[in-house]
């Protein structure tokens, strides 16, 4: 039984093919071979569909980007296109129904690959976590604390902020999962805050590749005495028996280079 092919749209007349034929598979993780070709400009289309083993919860994502910057993603639950910069939506459009159709194909492929792989589970690759402020820290001046979670797989992850040991929910914003060229993912979480003497913050990360919750502390060391205020940590390596097991079939990577002439408009042949 063959795998249904997702319907990849085109961009300015340039087709967006799969990076490798039949590129959907169970357990394809950070060591997968779906590498991007070298190009001056790159339009990327990335999608995945997955299911957690124990809870049987299913989720997916559809994203398009340009030169590793996200242009938009499709909220599959609300069935709408969400532009990374709202102004993009004023001169461009994307029908969310196309992504929903691809998600349905991804779900079908997931069922096929689970059977073909004899329910082989995807490897859990733990994240690297960095916490830093958006700008120089000054007491009493509004700022944004950023928790950057990088190089993890599969894209199932929880980020929680704590202030002085208490969970913070108001004002927190986080991105969707941004793909990396090695088939792992990255994600940002933002916490607006006003630095005050004695306050401290923690970014708490949960992922199937971690033997326990991973926490990065940011506090006194991020005071004006240390302008950067960076705190970073690398979680332990892939666990042999993680707390949570994941069964994952990746949605096919659809990426293709775009000639610079199409990306930047017609060029004067006299120059």
- pLDDT, tens only, 12-57: 222 222 233 233 433 333 334 445 556 677 788 888 888 776 666 7
Which range marks the domain in which residue 115 is found? Answer: 16-121+246-256
Interatomic CA distance for residues 56 and 38, integer angstroms: 38
- Whether residues 132 and 110 share a domain: the answer is no
What CATH number did the domain enclosing 142 receive? 2.60.40.10
Determine whether 166 is exposed, middle or buried from the number of CB atoms within 10 Å of its CB (0-12, 13-18, 19+): exposed
pLDDT digits (tens, 9 = 90+) for 204-240: 999 989 999 999 999 864 443 333 344 555 554 443 3
pLDDT confidence band for 87 (50 / 70 / 90) = confident
- Whether residues 112 and 196 share a domain: the answer is no
In a domain, 46, yes or no: yes
What is the distance between the terminal CA atoms of the chain, rounded to a whole angstrom?
Answer: 54
In a domain, 108, yes or no: yes
In a domain, 74, yes or no: yes
Q: Is the bond leading into 68 cis (omega within 30 degrees of zero)?
A: no
Closest CA to 247 of 51, 32, 25, 28: 51
Interatomic CA distance for residues 190 and 253, integer angstroms: 28
For position 234, what pLDDT does the model report? 54
Closest CA to 231 of 196, 197, 203: 203
In a domain, 3, yes or no: no
In a domain, 262, yes or no: no
Lowest pLDDT segment from 14-23, 114-123, 227-236, 254-263 = 14-23
What CATH number did the domain enclosing 48 receive? 3.10.320.10
Q: Would the pTM of this model clear 0.75, i.e. be above it?
A: no
């Amino acid at each position: 039984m063959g795998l249904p092919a997702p319907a990849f749209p085109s961009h300015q007349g340039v087709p967006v093919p799969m990076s490798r034929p039949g590129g959907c598979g169970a357990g394809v993780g950070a060591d997968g071979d779906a590498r991007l070709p070298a190009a001056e400009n790159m339009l990327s289309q990335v999608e995945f569909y997955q299911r957690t083993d124990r809870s049987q919860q299913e989720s997916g994502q559809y994203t398009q980007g340009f030169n590793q910057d996200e242009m938009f993603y499709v909220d599959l639950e609300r069935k709408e296109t969400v532009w990374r910069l709202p102004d993009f939506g004023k001169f461009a459009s994307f029908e969310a129904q196309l992504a929903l159709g691809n998600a349905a194909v991804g779900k079908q492929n997931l069922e096929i690959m689970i059977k073909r792989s004899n329910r082989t589970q995807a490897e859990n690759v733990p994240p690297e976590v960095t916490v830093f402020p958006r700008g120089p820290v000054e007491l009493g001046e509004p700022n944004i604390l950023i928790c950057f979670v990088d190089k993890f797989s599969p894209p199932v992850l929880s980020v929680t902020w704590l202030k002085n040991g208490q969970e913070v929910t108001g004002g927190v914003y986080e991105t969707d999962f941004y793909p990396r060229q090695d088939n792992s993912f990255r994600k940002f979480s933002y916490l607006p805050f006003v630095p005050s003497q004695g306050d401290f913050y923690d970014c708490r990360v949960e992922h199937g590749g971690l033997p326990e919750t991973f926490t990065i502390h940011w506090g006194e060391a991020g005071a004006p005495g240390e302008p950067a205020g960076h705190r970073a940590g690398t979680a332990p390596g892939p666990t042999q028996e993680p707390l949570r097991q994941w069964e994952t079939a990746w949605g096919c990577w659809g990426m293709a280079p775009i000639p610079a002439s199409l990306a930047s408009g017609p060029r004067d042949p006299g120059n």
